[in-house]
Structure 1
């Protein structure tokens, strides 16, 4: 059932998030661990493969939410980008060049050299402020354990104040239980950022997005949700047959949005939540074999598949009335 106060789709926009699986250029960066993504490495990353990746990711982004709002996303949070150069190549790639996306990116201390970033349509979202926040972690030896920074971007969305917090929380590489404390730390940092925003404006409208490496019912997400009474519209989307990333034939919903409850207010001239979904179009899926229906990846281990990403994008539709 559609709510009757949405008179026209023309007032609707899509906000998306996409972990694009290691968008690296082919050049060696001595500071980060990018040796796998070199032409001479076992993965044999090349200019041809890089350009193919740009074209495919650009096409996927251009399609997100198109059936719902008939236009490209106004905002796209990204995870796993190497640097500013790959973002420039992405926004000027075949399917995005005409859309005039701008982007925001800061280098983070992550040892793998992967950062979060934000693409945005400046005609819809005009940025006023941005800042990154470091998640302070220690490894088992008491040394600093670097991970991705959290990105805050504030501005005017269709003339109305909006804050977007982009995340890529620590992975489960050594086990979900063994690494849970790292994601709890990231959750606490996001809670601090939201508190800071609400101190300045108690009615701040906030979208938290990202690859959290945890599902909606994980402790880190439940703690964040409870800390400021946030709403997680992704909670009901995870099932045995659907998610955003798959491991050992089991689905996870690591890619999510959490929003402040004032997205449900009915007053005039306000941004309102309409719906959220996984963008899992058929072209983003493995077409056959034992992994049929799962994300069509760029690599499986060292083996080049030539696909899009090991994650499906997610999106939410908001409306201004």
Structure 2
């Protein structure tokens, strides 16, 4: 019997976070990443890059008392950024491995999954391409990972970053519905399986795209979540809290949810002078750089009860 099969795991903790522009400092000639270069508009120097890496790492570590088993990340540029996050940031001694997409997104941002090898053994992974429809720009692939855990046998994980609302919600809605259709078809082929779909959907929980996924049998276990310190969503726009980030589970996993919450630790927030209250503490507000900023999104956390083997 392998060491893996002897491990006892009582819980699995799944985190989702949009990192908000985790770019490295080097130009990719095939991507529109000029804004995040030392000479670019953001003056994205190595010092700022490494601060961002450690701020993201700190956000991940603050999500739960135990080390998260999975971290689904959106808006990461490339393998360099993920290697630095897992091997050279505050996470460097914690053993995280990762997989990520290599999409046709014009800016070069992708999605990734960090995982703890003691909790999860990947069997295979793939990229689900999003077919383009009229008016739609190339967008992020969906990352699909299949693997073994001790408590749930085989897990199927999808990490999503749907197209933004640029141009308006109604104009861009078909693009996000297009992504939801791809997810729906993939999940439909996994009848009875343990499935997790997580990411930034750029849509609220009652949107047509999320409703389509719920019709497929997935349950949005993060709908209407509150932060442990009282925030009302993962994202704040014009003084109103909403959630663009979601974690959906197959019916076989829903009754295993132990806790679910938004991580709204104080260092992830800043005062909002215009509307009052607080908002996510991001790296830039307009062109103003904040060295302690993390992201314009807050992390989602779902803890599942796993069976002991």
- Pair 1:55 & 2:48 matched: no
Change (3 A) 1:60 1:181: same
Aligned counterpart, 1:225: 214
Residue-pair matches, total: 295
**How many angstroms apart in 2 are the aligned matches of 1:106 and 1:234?**
24
**Residue pairs, 1:1-321, within 5 angstroms:** 11-66=10-65, 71-140=66-135, 145-158=137-150, 160-198=153-191, 203-227=192-216, 229-237=217-225, 242-264=232-254, 272-287=256-271, 289-290=273-274, 292-306=277-291, 307-321=293-307
Q: Gaps spanning 5+ residues in structure 2: where?
A: 1-7
Say if 2:97 and 2:116, in contact at 8 Å, map to a contact too.
Answer: yes
TM-score by length of 2: 0.91
**How many angstroms apart in 2 are the aligned matches of 1:244 and 1:185?**
23
**How many angstroms apart in 1 are the aligned matches of 2:150 and 2:64?**
18
In structure 1, the residue corresponding to 2:74 is in which secondary structure?
Answer: strand
**How many angstroms apart in 1 are the aligned matches of 2:211 and 2:88?**
38
How far 1:300 moved relative to its partner?
1.8
In structure 2, the residue corresponding to 1:220 is in which secondary structure?
Answer: helix
CA offsets 1:226-258 (integer angstroms, 9 cap, x no match): 12x211112222699511011222222011111
**How many angstroms apart in 2 are the aligned matches of 1:241 and 1:53?**
23
CA offsets 1:37-60 (integer angstroms, 9 cap, x no match): 011112111000000001110111
How far 1:292 moved relative to its partner?
4.5
CA offsets 1:11-61 (integer angstroms, 9 cap, x no match): 112101110001001111111110100111121110000000011101111
**How many angstroms apart in 2 are the aligned matches of 1:83 and 1:252?**
28
Higher relative contact order (CA 8 A, sep 6+): 2
**How many angstroms apart in 1 are the aligned matches of 2:85 and 2:254?**
34
TM-score by length of 1: 0.87
How far 1:118 moved relative to its partner?
0.6
In structure 1, the residue corresponding to 2:213 is in which secondary structure?
Answer: helix
**How many angstroms apart in 2 are the aligned matches of 1:135 and 1:277?**
30
* 100-109 or 130-139: bigger deviation: 130-139
Pairwise CA RMSD: 1.9
CA offsets 1:72-117 (integer angstroms, 9 cap, x no match): 1000000000000110000123421121000101211111100000
How far 1:301 moved relative to its partner?
2.5
In structure 1, the residue corresponding to 2:259 is in which secondary structure?
Answer: strand
Q: Gaps spanning 5+ residues in structure 1: where?
A: 1-8, 266-271
Say if 2:17 and 2:297, in contact at 8 Å, map to a contact too.
Answer: yes
